[in-house]
Amino acid sequence: MRFKTVICREGLYYLLVIGFVMFGSILREVNLLMVIAGMMLFPFFFNWRAAVVSLRRLSVKRQLTHSITAGELLVVNVEVKKRSSRNLLGKRASWAVKLEETIINESMPATIPPKTLSLLFWRIPMAGSACLSYSARLYQRGMYKIGPSRLSTGFPLGLIRHYRLWRGVERVVVFPRCGNLTPNWMRLFHEVGTSKTAQLRSSYQPAGDFHGLRDWRTGDGRRLIHWRSTARRGSPVVRQFEQQQQLDLNLLVDLFSDSPPGEGNEEAIEATISFAATIVTHLCHRGNCHLRLAVHGNDVAHHASPVHLRQLPQLLTMLATASPPSEDCLSDLLQDDEPLPAGTPTLILSPRQLDPHTLLSEYEADHAHSVVSGAVTCIHTAGAELKNFYEVPM
C-alpha cells in the first residue's frame, strides 16, 4: 500500500473523549455538548488534512558508494525534495517528516535479518530540499538493497499519522574481506600456475620494460634488432626486455559442504570465499594472467578472460553474491564452452575433502567440454591446510 493513515494513541484517547461528550449529550439531551463535540472533531480532521498535504510532492534521493569491502563504513546521504504547488494550501513547508529506510541482504536474507533506521527532517521548505546522512558498517558480504523508503508525519497535533511509500531503491555490493597470502601459496602458485604455452608465447614477443642491448642470438626476431647500434658496432645488436611470465589459472570455488548443518559450515564457506577473493585480487594487481573463475553456489557463475584491475569489481561481485548450494553439482564447474590455454592448471577451493585423481577419473570421458587440461590441486578450506596458504583477515 502506497498511502496509509493510522490513528495514534493520543488520537484514540482524543476520540474517546469526543465519544464520551457525545454520549453525554445524547443521554442528557444537552445540545451544547453536541456542539462542543463537533468543535472537538475539527482539530482531528485538520490534523489529518495537514499530514496528507505535507507528504505530497516529496521525493527522496540517495548518494552513496555502490561497492565497499566487508567491515568498511557505508555513508548514505539522503536528500528529500519538495516540489512547488499552485494550490494555496500546498504552498507551505513540510514539518517533522520521518524517513524510515530498510537495509536487506538479498544474497542471504534467511541468515541476516533486515535493519531499519529512521531519520527526522524537521523542516522541508517548499520548492527546496533538506539533507541528512547516516552511516552503517556492513560486516557480511552480499548484495544489499536500501529501500524502499517510508515517509510519515503527524504534524502539527500528533493525533493521526500519515504514511507514504517511496519505491526508489539503491543496491550496494559488499565485497568479501581479503587476507594475506603466505609464502607457501606463492611457491605453490609459481609451481602449478605457470602455463608452458604462455611461456612460449612470451618468448617470441617483446613484453615488459626495456632492459638493455645484447648481441644477436640464433632465434631472435628481426623486429628486435636495434639498427643504430648495429650500424655503429658492425654486428647485429638486439633489444632486451624484462620478460614477464604469464601465469594462467583455472580457479574453481566449491561452496557445497557435506558435513551436517551447524558444524562450522558457515565459517568454512566464508573462509573459502575470502581466500578466493584474495587470490583474485592478487592476480588482478599482478596482471599478465588468464584467469577462469567459476563459483559453485545456487547459480554457477563463470568468468574467463585476461584479468586486470578494471575487472576486479566484477569478479569480487561474483564471490560476494554466491550462496551455498543445496546439492552437489561440482560437474557444472568443470564444464565450459570457452577453452583455456593448453596446460592451464586447475585449483579447487572447497570446504570438503576432494581427491584430484578421483575428479579427473570421473570427468575424463567428456574431454570436449571439460576445462581441466593441466594439473589439478585441491585445497581443503575447512581444515588446517588453509593456514599454510592463507592468513584470515582480523
Q: Print pLDDT tens along the chain (394 aa).
A: 588 999 999 999 999 999 999 888 888 888 888 888 889 999 999 999 999 988 988 999 999 999 999 989 999 999 999 988 776 655 688 999 999 999 999 887 767 788 999 999 999 998 899 999 999 999 999 999 998 999 999 999 999 999 999 999 999 999 999 988 888 887 777 665 554 444 434 444 454 555 577 787 776 777 778 788 888 888 888 877 554 456 678 888 888 877 665 555 788 888 899 999 999 998 888 777 788 888 876 666 677 677 778 888 888 998 998 888 777 777 666 666 566 666 778 888 888 887 777 766 665 555 445 556 677 888 888 878 888 888 877 6
Cα–Cα dist 308/282, whole Å: 10
Q: Are residues 266 and 378 in the same domain?
A: yes
* 311 located within any domain: yes
* 134 located within any domain: yes
Does residue 181 contact residue 32 with C-beta atoms inside 8 Å? no
| pLDDT reported for residue 202 | 41
Q: Are residues 10 and 125 in the same domain?
A: yes
Q: Are residues 221 and 307 in the same domain?
A: no
* 73 located within any domain: yes
Angle at 174 between CA 382 and CA 68, to 5 degrees: 125
Q: Are residues 286 and 156 in the same domain?
A: no
Residue 371, sorted as left (phi over 0), alpha (psi -120 to 50) or beta, turns out to be alpha
**Parallel/antiparallel/unpaired status of strands 376-380 and 289-296:** unpaired
Residue 278, burial from CB neighbour count under 10 angstroms (0-12, 13-18, 19+): buried
* 203 located within any domain: no
* 192 located within any domain: yes
Q: Are residues 141 and 56 in the same domain?
A: yes
| pLDDT reported for residue 15 | 92
* 304 located within any domain: yes
Q: Are residues 299 and 323 in the same domain?
A: yes
Give the residue among 44, 63, 24, 260 at the shortest CA–CA distance from 172.
Answer: 63
| pLDDT reported for residue 82 | 92
Residue listed under C-alpha cell 596458504:
389
| pLDDT reported for residue 198 | 42
Task: Give how many domains the chain has, as a whole number.
Answer: 3
- Provide the residue range defining the domain that includes 261: 180-197+245-391
Q: What pTM, to 2 d.p., does this model score?
A: 0.77
Q: Are residues 62 and 187 in the same domain?
A: no
Q: Are residues 227 and 273 in the same domain?
A: no
* 84 located within any domain: yes
Q: Are residues 141 and 271 in the same domain?
A: no
C-alpha distances (whole Å) from 121 to each of 56, 98, 334 are 15, 6, 54
Residue listed under C-alpha cell 588446517:
384
Task: Name 380's Cβ contacts closer than 8 Å, sequence gap at least 6.
Answer: 350, 351, 352, 353, 354, 386
Q: Are residues 236 and 318 in the same domain?
A: no
